[in-house]
Amino acid sequence: MKKPVILVVHRNPEKLLQQIDYSLDNGASLHSAADGMEAMLKCQQLKPAIVIVDIDLPDFNGMTVASAIKDNKENQALVYLTGLEGLLENAKADRYLPYGIPYELFIAQLKHDFQQIQGGEKLDEGMENAIVQQYDCLVPACSREDTGGAFSVNRLLSPYYHLSGDGLHYTLLKSDADVHSDNKDGLYGFIFDCVGHDLLSYGQAMNTLYILKTYMWQYQAGVYETLDEVVKAVNREVLNNFVSATLIPTLCFFMDIHAQKLIYCSAGIPSLLVKYKDHSRRESISCRSYMIGYDRDVSWHEECLDLSSVEEITFITDGLNDLLREKSESADEPMAFAKHDDISAIFIKIFHDNK
């Protein structure tokens, strides 16, 4: 019988993992995440039964991470928040454990919940599969096997019922595909965030998704030679066809894995995150520019990143960027609420040992 998965999200999880393993008689499959972004990604990969999130994480406030996990329809986990000294507005979890709670009480609660899960008090497998399939229809994950061992792709989407204007898409083009011979193999994609949180922005997001997919397909087919041409064409389309004025931070990219380079063009997406070999932390690459919809007479510039020493690339919306900034020393004022919309991302992991 497959063991239920428990994910511990903590700066230093080793001691807690050992204690949980001992207390549950080695009955769970234990995993850890060192920060919020890794936690949200692992929740999609591992489908944990229980997620234990510490409030003090290096990138996001733990309440934001717990809330985002609870919002995501793909996740059915029971979520613990630990180390609490107060609650932010809009925070979500199943178990709220204050700072200094006796260890025995925490373990007693965990044992009770774990026994309930082992007893089958959760969604049946058919329902879980249906939820996952519905989510995957929106934008598919891409495994290492799909790319011939070169890289893998995953994604994080903001909750739809918050009416966020986020959107993302990517397409894997391989040489055996039935496409024009001039096309280059690799990963083509984009991420964007229509400004606003209402029905109008949600409708604009659907239209923007269609427009960007259309012009990125034309880029794949060789109609446009550069991504800045694509962004300019999308900008023209938005200004000509959207009834009301809107600003759309956007980033388009093409990852040429054979040439070991990432070509990208940002239109208002403030940064992308890169993790290099032998580095423990992600570095932010600033790429500020005009948003789509700002004006007709602006220009954008295509950039190129050498991937020979890159292990991970993360494209993020401005919501995630704000959360990262909020945890940095440069933040003017900390957020007074647990933000868990506008936090979409595309994660790319590159495998340099591919033969």
The structure's pTM equals 0.72
Same domain, yes or no: 177 and 85? no
Residue 199: inside a domain, yes or no?
yes
pLDDT tens digit string along 108-158? Answer: 888 888 888 877 644 445 545 544 554 454 667 788 888 888 999 988 776
pLDDT tens digit string along 53-93? Answer: 999 998 888 888 888 888 876 778 899 999 887 777 677 88
CATH classification of the domain holding 337: 3.60.40.10
Same domain, yes or no: 43 and 169? no
Collapsing DSSP to helix, strand or coil, 305 comes out as strand
Same domain, yes or no: 123 and 193? no
If one counts the domains in the chain, the total is 2
Same domain, yes or no: 116 and 251? no
Q: Strand order of the sheet with strand 283-286?
A: 151-156, 345-350, 310-316, 271-276, 283-286
Which domain-ending residue is among 96, 128, 160? 128
Residue 231: inside a domain, yes or no?
yes
Domain holding 57, by residue range, is: 5-128
CATH classification of the domain holding 69: 3.40.50.2300
Same domain, yes or no: 108 and 191? no
Same domain, yes or no: 88 and 232? no
Which domain-ending residue is among 103, 128, 153? 128
Residue 196: inside a domain, yes or no?
yes
Q: What is the pLDDT along the chain (355 residues), one digit of tens a residue?
A: 688 999 999 999 998 999 899 888 888 999 999 998 899 889 988 999 999 999 999 888 888 888 888 887 677 889 999 988 777 767 788 888 888 777 787 888 888 888 888 776 444 455 455 445 544 546 677 888 888 889 999 887 765 444 567 788 999 887 654 444 455 789 999 999 876 655 566 677 778 888 999 999 999 989 999 999 999 999 999 998 876 667 889 999 999 988 899 999 999 887 899 999 888 788 889 887 999 998 999 999 999 999 999 999 999 887 666 666 555 544 455 555 566 666 788 999 999 886 5
Residue 138: inside a domain, yes or no?
no
Residue 135: inside a domain, yes or no?
no
Residue 208: inside a domain, yes or no?
yes
Residue 137: inside a domain, yes or no?
no
Same domain, yes or no: 149 and 91? no
Residue 157: inside a domain, yes or no?
yes
Q: What angle do CA 194, 197, 198 make, to 5 degrees?
A: 105
Same domain, yes or no: 47 and 178? no
Same domain, yes or no: 209 and 345? yes
Same domain, yes or no: 222 and 252? yes
Same domain, yes or no: 196 and 317? yes
Which CA distances in Å does 12 have to 33, 42, 154, 155?
A: 9, 17, 25, 25
Same domain, yes or no: 260 and 189? yes
- Amino acid found at 241: N
Which domain-ending residue is among 78, 103, 128? 128
Q: Are 155 and 310 in contact (CB under 8 A)?
A: no
> How far apart are the C-alpha atoms of 334 and 322, rounded to whole Å?
10
Radius of gyration over every alpha carbon of the chain, rounded to an integer in angstroms: 21
